[in-house]
Structure 1
Amino acid sequence: MEEIWIQWIPEIGFPVMVTFYLLHRIEGKLDMVIASIHTLADEMNR
């Protein structure tokens, strides 16, 4: 997968590529945070 990222750098620019890479990396972590917030809200409503 990283090979694809490296090939895109000259085409779309380094700052844009870094942004996409970082968003891709934190997407899964953000999903876990959202799930935790929903679980916490459910527990507090009991």
Structure 2
Amino acid sequence: MVGSFGFPIAVSVYLLVRLESKLEMLTVSINNLSNVIKKS
């Protein structure tokens, strides 16, 4: 029972952590791009 739930939960948490850092970098990049567009 624990094995059938533990593995998918572990994979989900791992993917969420990985995606969170990538989304943070994407947000920073979009903000930088909008600042460049405003200046020009």
Q: Choose which of 2, 15, 18 in structure 2 pairs with 1:25.
A: 18
SS in 2 for 1:21: helix
Higher relative contact order (CA 8 A, sep 6+): 1
Number of residue-to-residue matches in the alignment: 37
Unaligned runs of 5+ in 2: none
Give TM-score scaled by structure 1 length.
0.61
Give TM-score scaled by structure 2 length.
0.66
Structure 1 or 2, whichever has the larger Rg, is 2
Unaligned runs of 5+ in 1: 1-8
What do you get for the CA RMSD once the two structures are aligned? 1.8
| Percent of aligned positions that are identical | 41
